[in-house]
Amino acid sequence: MKILVVGSIAYDSVETPEGKRESQLGGSASYFSVAASHFTEVGMVGVVGNDFSEDDLALYRSHEIDTSGIETVDGKTFRWTGDYLQDINTAVTHETQLNVFADFSPELSEKHAEAPFLFLANIEPSLQLQVLESMSSRPKLVACDTMNLWIDIARGPLAELISKVDVLTINEGEARQFTEEQHLPTAAAALLESGPSTVVIKRGEYGAALFSKHFNFAAPAYPLAKVVDPTGAGDSFAGGFMGYIAATGDTTEEGLRRGAIVGSTMASFAVEAFGLDRLRSLSRQNIEERFNAFVDLTRFQAIDGSNALPLR
Amino acid sequence: MKILVVGSIAYDSVETPEGKRESQLGGSASYFSVAASHFTEVGMVGVVGNDFSEDDLALYRSHEIDTSGIETVDGKTFRWTGDYLQDINTAVTHETQLNVFADFSPELSEKHAEAPFLFLANIEPSLQLQVLESMSSRPKLVACDTMNLWIDIARGPLAELISKVDVLTINEGEARQFTEEQHLPTAAAALLESGPSTVVIKRGEYGAALFSKHFNFAAPAYPLAKVVDPTGAGDSFAGGFMGYIAATGDTTEEGLRRGAIVGSTMASFAVEAFGLDRLRSLSRQNIEERFNAFVDLTRFQAIDGSNALPLR
């Protein structure tokens, strides 16, 4: 198993301008795992209730995802209800039922604790720290995500976590909130100061910006004619990003750049359908074609001998 | 003269988090011309009052800008007062004094009417149309800009103008407002339907997105540590874009892509200092280095024989 992910497994009820779904499979660990599974073997650690469907477990397994770290406990699976009716880029939460997630305390098997790549999806920072400390040796690359709630109520543990990861993925607004810097490059610089060697700022329909001490990289979002359900876009980005890096073992600048485009590719698929519907049905050709579309979306002629700028 | 620009020449009083300036030289035609002048010969058509400074005319001329189309009339030059204190990306207007601009009716000399490239900067659409109709033959490429005010009060003439240009540059919010489409690719498609072969959506700190019937191109904004004065960024983009295209004569897809990066390069310089301070002092090396920084900001390895994606 190449990547271990710890995060939420959820049943989401969501309404968007394109329609409405009740209790669809979701959660950060689900989106991450299915996206990453197109590139490498993923193991999930999470908790579900005894309402969790065998079909949903089968979906993970059909992507060769190791589900042995999914604990089933008495009670109901984590549930989220929300809509994107006012603004397709911003979820309005109607209800969050933590259910079995409330008492979640991730425990790693020996096999899981040896994973060379670790993604700490958005859960309480103290749990993310607990998982990181449970690893038998420091993974080759550790990435984490977070959310505004933890900046508000668990800033201390979150800051400790950020100091210990290699890659932080964070929304633009959260980056500003955490650093109290309005200007994005300044916010990114403050985050880099606090620990990670790479910060990925997620900008929704504007794509992602990758900041490191040595280089910056801008990945656009793919211009989709229709966004059906934006839920899970950030975790799908992370799944593509980490999946690519884990599969190639390439943690160099080149690997991070390409990983960000693979991440943008997977995020662009995620939002094309409700829940995991598009991510679960992708062919190799689909992914290669979309990646190539990003090449086409960003390419232009650099300055070379025969191609100088016409400067006066 | 390669490019003719018709637009405003203004004295701006502006306050930003970085400071305050009184009556600095500005206006859409000024930013456009100085940006474009690094690439080709520009002729300005506009109007100023008899308060207009000889030093400011000299500034244009030092960039070999043809100022013979700048009419001086009795009265005061157009003045704008505003700030960017709440949000560096959004100007709050305190006062607009049209002054001599109120009765502006652009008249073209024979030389101006023969320009092969034409930029109709943001002025009343009926005046933009008047200039377009005054050209002795259809220029090789006509671009125009606009603003929300004209969508509100002059939609008919604006729609007629848009139907007659090759390139429309428009802010993201204005594109949504004009088309009543919330989704950007859909808004761009509607604009392309209405006339232009290329639509450049300006997204401020998120860069620019170029849509055409045959390709899309995403140009990021350069991640600046500090934005001093965002006034004129869009016109500076247009100046770099049109300046590059006019200097090379390259109106192909490749020319438009590269032009958009040159435009982003000039916009990134424009906002680094108040008014025209940075644009007027650029060396060839400055421009080449910043262009190369955009290459570095966007490059990643495409799929080729030895470099496939690691898909399962």
Q: How many CA atoms lie within 13 A of A34 on its CB side?
A: 31
The per-residue DSSP string of A144-202 comes to: EE--HHHHHH-HHHHHHHHHH-SEEEEEHHHHHHHHT-SSHHHHHHHHHHTS-SEEEEE
Task: Count up the domains in chain A and report the number.
Answer: 1
Closest CA to A267 of A297, A295, A229, A310: A229
Helix (H, G, I), strand (E, B) or coil at B180: coil
> Which residues have a Cβ under 8 Å from the Cβ of A186 and sit 6 or more positions away?
A179, B225, B226
Per-residue pLDDT reduced to its tens digit, A201-225? 999 999 999 999 999 999 999 999 8
Confidence of residue A254 (pLDDT cuts 50, 70, 90): very high
Tally of CB atoms within 10 A around B94? 12
Question: Is A237:A264 a contact under the CB 8 Å cutoff?
Answer: yes
Question: Is B26:B10 a contact under the CB 8 Å cutoff?
Answer: yes
Structure tokens at A148: 């505004």
Which residue is it, tokens 């390069």? B265
Is B182 domain-assigned? yes
Is A125 domain-assigned? yes
- Looking at the complex, report in whole angstroms how far the Cα of residue A76 sits from the nearest Cα belonging to chain B: 34
Per-residue pLDDT reduced to its tens digit, A142-200? 999 999 999 999 999 999 999 999 999 999 999 999 999 988 999 999 999 999 999 99
Residues 159-218 of B with CB under 8 A from A: 182-186, 188-189, 203, 205-207, 209, 211, 215-218
Residue contact B227–A183, C-beta within 8 A: yes
Average pLDDT, chain A: 96
Is B311 domain-assigned? no
| CATH number of the domain within which A233 lies | 3.40.1190.20
Tally of CB atoms within 10 A around B180? 8
- Helices assigned H by DSSP within chain A: 28-36, 54-62, 110-113, 125-134, 148-153, 155-164, 172-179, 184-193, 233-248, 253-270, 284-298
Looking at chain A, how many residues does it have?
312
Is B247 domain-assigned? yes
Per DSSP, B215 falls in state -
Residues 220-249 of A with CB under 8 A from B: 220, 223-227, 244, 247-248
Distances (CA, A) of B154 to B128, B133, B170: 12, 18, 15
d(CA A231, CA A274): 8
Q: For residue B71, which phi and psi values (nearest 5 degrees)?
A: -90, 135
Predicted local confidence at residue B270, as pLDDT: 98
Distances (CA, A) of A83 to A196, A228, B182, B276: 33, 12, 17, 45
B208-212 and B216-219 beta bridge pairing: antiparallel
Structure tokens at B60: 């244009």
Which residue is it, tokens 């100022």? B67
Structure tokens at B36: 């474009």
Structure tokens at B91: 């100007």
Residue contact A184–B207, C-beta within 8 A: no
Percent of chain A past pLDDT 90, that is, above it, reads 96
Is A303 domain-assigned? no
- Looking at the complex, report in whole angstroms how far the Cα of residue A38 sits from the nearest Cα belonging to chain B: 6
B167-171 and B198-202 beta bridge pairing: parallel
**For A87-103, what is the mean pLDDT?**
92
Distances (CA, A) of A272 to A5, A37, A266, A282, B54: 24, 18, 10, 12, 58
The per-residue DSSP string of B231-254 comes to: TTHHHHHHHHHHHHHHHH---SHH
The per-residue DSSP string of B41-67 comes to: -EEEEEEEETT--HHHHHHHHHTT-EE
Residue contact A186–B225, C-beta within 8 A: yes
Helix (H) / strand (E) containing A14:
strand A10-16
Tally of CB atoms within 10 A around B213? 11
- Looking at the complex, report in whole angstroms how far the Cα of residue A296 sits from the nearest Cα belonging to chain B: 7
B11: which strand partners?
Answer: B25, B79
Per-residue pLDDT reduced to its tens digit, A36-90? 999 999 999 999 999 999 999 999 999 999 999 999 999 999 999 999 999 888 8
Residue contact A39–B311, C-beta within 8 A: yes
Predicted local confidence at residue B273, as pLDDT: 98
Is A309 domain-assigned? no
Q: Helix B253-270 and helix B28-36: axis angle, to 10°?
A: 120
Which residue is it, tokens 């229709």? A226
Contact of B282 with chain A, judged by CB distance below 8 Å, is answered with: no
Residue contact A254–B292, C-beta within 8 A: no
What is the domain range of residue A166? 3-298
A48: which strand partners?
Answer: A72
Residue contact B298–A217, C-beta within 8 A: yes
> Which residues have a Cβ under 8 Å from the Cβ of B107 and sit 6 or more positions away?
B71, B134
Is A179 domain-assigned? yes
Pairwise pLDDT comparison (A305 vs B232), residue with the higher score: B232
Per-residue pLDDT tens listing for chain B (312 residues):
999 999 999 999 999 999 999 999 999 999 999 999 999 999 999 999 999 999 999 999 999 999 999 999 999 999 999 999 998 888 999 999 999 999 999 999 999 999 999 999 999 999 999 999 999 999 999 999 999 999 999 999 999 999 999 999 999 999 999 999 988 999 999 999 999 999 999 999 999 999 999 999 999 999 998 999 999 999 999 999 999 999 999 999 999 999 999 999 999 999 999 999 999 999 999 999 999 999 999 999 999 878 899 999
Distances (CA, A) of A277 to A34, A270, A290, A293, B2: 10, 8, 17, 21, 53
Is A310 domain-assigned? no
d(CA B212, CA A90): 28
Which amino acid belongs to residue B259? G
d(CA A155, CA A140): 26
d(CA B119, CA B188): 20
Closest-approach residue (CA) in chain A for B253: A300
Q: Which of B16, B254, B300, B301 to mutate to test the interface with A (most CBs of A within 10 A)?
A: B300
Residue contact A292–B299, C-beta within 8 A: no
d(CA A169, CA A184): 14
Structure tokens at B72: 């001086």
Closest CA to A6 of A163, A105, A119: A119
